[in-house]
Amino acid sequence: MTRPRLTLDASSPSIIVPLTGRDLVELEGQIDALHAAAELFDVVEWRVDLFEPFTAGVRGEPSPAVGALERISELLPGRPILATFRTRAEGGGAQIPPEAYVALVEALASTGLAAAIDVEYRHPLAGDAIAAVHGRGIPVVASNHDFDSTPSAEELTGRLAAMEDAGADVAKIAVTPRSAADVVTLLTATEQRFRVAAIPLITMSMGGLGAVTRLGGGVFGSAATFATVGAASAPGQLPAEGVRRALDLLGGKNG
């Protein structure tokens, strides 16, 4: 079955909602809630690091994750799925050996059911992981999270450029603001990189202070925002219903 493609455009930002269930029962319950809110989102991100049948497995054996992706795909046939294993170093819920991380992303990509696979920009085997996913014909969303601060605009643009140079198809950065000036820094870096980037960008300033970036990021070049139908997967995510209304007012997909 041909899956929907991940198509991102800053002029009409996509809303991505997380699936965070600990097992198939929880995932199926969350998907039921998504069916009731189908008009509120565009893409689903499945957080594999929160899926206990995989994380509790032996040496990162990927088959439980592959089976779950097959079930998610079956239940959400019309939605692009972004498959993400977020390591603890990037704020995630689990840790696996670097080689198992590469094997996981390749196994998920090999199903052809994910529209894209997240690969952490600073993972020790990021290059191998990107090559493995691309080898299966699936796009890569390179990601980087800073839960302590907001780096300088120069540093942020440099990271986004490095993701593109490494072969990413989408570059994503999330930072933590300590002041309104930090939020401006994130938006400035986004706008500067957007002017020259050849790939879509996803950027956000986390927490309540950075909420404006989740609503108005498209103006500065961010092609997607994360919102919730149920459980959040990062600080400051807003309910999808409110985000959709805000994007519509700003000229988003349904505007």
Catalytic residues: 145, 172
* Cα distance between the two ends of the chain: 31
Cβ neighbour number for residue 224 with a 10 Å cutoff = 28
DSSP 78: T
Q: Are 172 and 142 in contact (CB under 8 A)?
A: yes
Contacts of 190 (CB under 8 A, 6+ apart): 156, 201, 203, 217, 220, 221, 222
